[in-house]
Chains A and B, each alone.
Chain A
């Protein structure tokens, strides 16, 4: 029943990255993240990190980039040159810019940065996103107790990442998990996690033969989809990031059927 289309080697690399991020996260001073839990803003769907004060230590940030470079080079030695050139390019100003743009998931900025400095297109954003995540995860860990539910259509209440992964827990409760910051929050079992539509005629389930623990919930209203994984069937629960990666074939299936990871909000006048 081999399901995942992701190679074992890439899975291993991602596990190593997640482990590294966990180490970085625990090495951070917990006070470097000061969330501002503004109830009104949260109810409007503003992610917590947008209003949080985060002290980035640029020297630490650069050290992490070196760490991740070392890890990537272990898997792909030819990356070493790119990582060296990134290190020479990142002065304090550029590092700050990277943080801001990674927060906003500004792929256009990173793509042009890569082009300008003759780097492989994926490297700058991948590296920036990887080193940003421990800060997002620390923020999520700090506010997790206050996060019960999210606002449909607003993505992750902590980091704003579009919703795409839910886990069935306990007696079948649907809990949305963010693969980016590891925050989790509850959602109704039959509701579309993007637009909140709970009409059983238009919220449907796609099942895949041979997949005993996974389904794709789709919404005909907003064309959004959510992967729902019954992690109660696992021996050891994978991290949301690994679960998201290992179920990437479900994203392909959903997207081939015309569904999107961010549902479209209908304009009403």
Chain B
């Protein structure tokens, strides 16, 4: 099957937020009343029940002028996704379209995907069963895989009235991104195509008007080494030694040791200094 990607040209976005509404609507996601963010932006970032957030960034360009930058933000659907790599239950998986989806039936809510996503996209949603017991499941943008399977584009794309978003074959969309970049280079000298290699490229490819950091994106995201270690080393041993029920506990211990986005507690050299 051809690989498909979502192309987002942020320079065409006018911040209407219809993509957010379409996403909530299609995926039946509950509303989340939020505190005032101090700007027009409604949510600080994506959450377990808001998979798509329009970020509004006030940016001072190189000439000292104020520029208002918009970005449709949701899951990047990395080709080498850290969340897929670390998931002990194979709940995070690649679809036939190359995108990343969560199988809720398999998800045990361990949260490794949350800790390892370089884009801070995956979040845990809390549910209550009929006995009042709480449980958690990872949630994030699915690229509307249920629509893709019916030959239809993701809901956010179909609703975009400025054509800032398009969905098509990887080859075609990347070509479009290159063309657009050459058109906007004069106006935005820092413009670039954001399709980071560190995660094997993504299935949401942006044409950004400014450097990624301006949009709150990592300049060079990569699959954390700890994620690789977990899947290839710690997890098979863990599974072999322990029953599935105790996995979460031990998992939490291992993950505290191995994973940490801030870099604290990550014992890299293991030796320390002895002066």
Contact = CB atoms under 8 A, between A and B. Distances in A.
Interface string B140-184: 000000111111110100100000000110000000000000000
A233 B158 contact: yes
Interface stretch (A23-31, A35-43, A81-89, A234-242): A234-242
A213 interface: yes
B165 to A, nearest CB: 13
User: In which size bucket is the chain B interface?
Assistant: 10 to 19
A1 B152 CA distance: 11
B4 A235 contact: yes
B26 interface: yes
User: In which size bucket is the chain A interface?
Assistant: 10 to 19
Contact of A238 (B148, B151, B155): B151
A97 interface: no
A235 B26 contact: no
Contact of A235 (B146, B155, B168): B168
B159 to A, nearest CB: 9
A232 interface: yes
Interface string A1-39: 111100000000000000000000000000000000000
Contact of B148 (A2, A4, A232, A235): A235
Interface string A199-236: 00000000000001100000000000000000011111
Centre residue among B4, B149, B152, B153 by max chain A CB count within 10 A: B152
Contacts of B151: 234-236, 238
A1 B147 contact: yes
Nearest to B161: A171
Question: Majority SS of interface residues in chain A?
Answer: loop
A171 to B, nearest CB: 10
A236 B155 CA distance: 15
B158 A3 contact: no
B153 A234 contact: yes
Centre residue among A213, A233, A234 by max chain B CB count within 10 A: A233
A157 to B, nearest CB: 28
Contacts of A232: 158
Given A1-B147, A2-B150, A235 B158 contact: no
A258 to B, nearest CB: 28
Contacts of A235: 4, 148, 151-153, 167-168
Centre residue among A212, A213, A232 by max chain B CB count within 10 A: A212
Given A235-B4, A235-B167, A1 B150 contact: yes
Contacts of B155: 212
A212 B167 CA distance: 17
Contacts of B147: 1, 212, 233
Given A1-B146, A233-B147, A235-B148, 15 more contacts: A1-B147, A1-B150, A2-B149, A2-B150, A3-B150, A212-B152, A233-B152, A233-B158, A234-B152, A235-B4, A235-B151, A235-B153, A235-B168, A236-B151, A238-B151
